[in-house]
Amino acid sequence: MAPPPPRAALLAALALLLLLLLAAAPRAAATGVFQVRRKFPAGGGGGDASIAALRAHDGRRHGRLLAAADLPLGGLGLPTDTGLYFTEIKLGTPPKRYYVQIDTGSDILWVNCISCERCPRKSGLGLDLTLYDPKGSSSGSTVSCDQGFCAATYGGKLPGCTPNVPCEYSVMYGDGSSTTGFFVTDALQFDQVTGNGQTQPGNASVTFGCGAQQGGDLGSSNQALDGILGFGQANTSMLSQLAAAGKVKKVFAHCLDTIRGGGIFAIGDVVQPKVKTTPLVPDMPHYNVNLESIEVDGTTLDLPAHVFVTGEKKGTIIDSGTTLTYLPELVFNEVKFAVFKKHQDIKFHNVQDFMCFQYSGSVDDGFPTITFHFEDDLALHVYPHEYFFPNGNDLYCVGFQNGALQSKDGKDIVLLGDLVLSNKLVVYDLENQVIGWTDYNCSSSIKVKDDKTGATYTVNSHDISSGWKFHWHKYPVLLVTFVCSFLIC
């Protein structure tokens, strides 16, 4: 047979190369990475201004967690402030950049819309904000009230709904902040993981909120972001949408490093390290678990069993969107007494309503470990440097708070926030309705598995500059099984 002409030969070679690439490409759920920044500096030390900002943030965060959401969202709650961690995402075609808060206590992704009148145009965090324009994206479309997403969100077709009427959302928070807008569907761009340290562009279609009006703190430019990325359990969350489309499993994990200021936030099956788990309480809007007892310095506190029972405005919640830990008054007083039992001479100072004290030695050497015991024999060890935080000049403040003094509705709730979850790998396995953790060096790495191919990828920690002034690093943190491996710092 005569050899093909040069052009035909070139086309044949290109076709063969394409077939080889397709054959070699993994048919796996996409994995990706976002870089995440921290809002407050690691390790405290910011003086009264920083500690006041932290308290104000947690007060609002605590309030919104316990507040009832507006009926249109079926009891779903959204944050009222910018939270501790946020990441950069890209939406639309062509893609544009948006900075959104990462929050395990809310259930939808939303960004400020171009039609918004009170949305901030600039941020006190030094970020350039972007308003989303549905008409400026060739891949964007407005979700109408007669579409399936809207009906599923509200439990049926809305009264008075006619074709082409937008599917709206409206949420009012406990502190008076609010967000209203309408749902759109568009492309979300991410870095797809193709190997250890290797990525390529990927995207997925997601439905999210286009915020048309923000009230209260959400309209403030002081700590503003472009929106919120919720990692709650509801079907409206980005994670749930991707899982329903077969792109990911509903499993994610975070490892917060407060020692060096970095960490990992990943979607995918974590195969190393292994974690022991406890069941999630079913049919709860947040990540509720069954706490059975508390131990200080090896001694179990004498507490009535009813203080840990889950019920309306009762129980124990794991929430990475809250910085501090809140305990019912009875529990708080018993823990405080046990912690300071060997330090009767310590005098407390009130610093922005925090209990603070002078201490020149190592708190880890001078104070006891607190251990929370959960159902199925899972323990959470909290070390002194995790329940105290420094505020300069040998001054330490207590990261545990009396819930009765913070919120009337939250006075009987145990709320475990970032300080006690730090330096631990925490895995949220929504497929099996369990949550688990293990003490871990969050400056190291974890391994995640792609269940469709069996491939295992190393996800390294990443240290991004923290504080009010930020500098982006160009080294992504790997994630697995979809769009999200987030680096948290």
Catalytic residue among 58, 103, 269, 450: 103
In one-letter notation, the amino acid at residue 256 is L
The answer to whether 390 and 45 are in contact (CB under 8 A) is: yes
Residue with tokens 């709320």, as numbered in its chain: 415
Active-site residue among 70, 226, 257, 319? Answer: 319
Helix (H, G, I), strand (E, B) or coil at 482: coil
**CA–CA separation, 264 vs 445, rounded Å?**
8
Catalytic site includes residue 319: yes
User: How many Å apart are CA 371 and CA 328, to the nearest integer?
Assistant: 16
Closest to 486 in 3D by CA, of 170, 100, 194: 100
In the annotation, is 376 catalytic? no
| Distance of alpha carbon 355 from alpha carbon 335, whole angstroms | 14
How far apart CA 54 and CA 66 sit, in angstroms, is 18
Give the residue carrying structure tokens 């901030």.
120
Query: Whole-angstrom Cα distance, residue 385 to residue 120?
Result: 37
User: Could you check whether the bond before residue 273 is cis, i.e. omega within 30 degrees of 0?
Assistant: yes
E-strand ranges in 216-314 read 227-230, 251-256, 263-267, 269-272, 276-279, 288-289, 291-296, 299-300
| CB distance 369 to 387 below 8 Å | no
Which residues does the annotation mark as catalytic? 103, 319
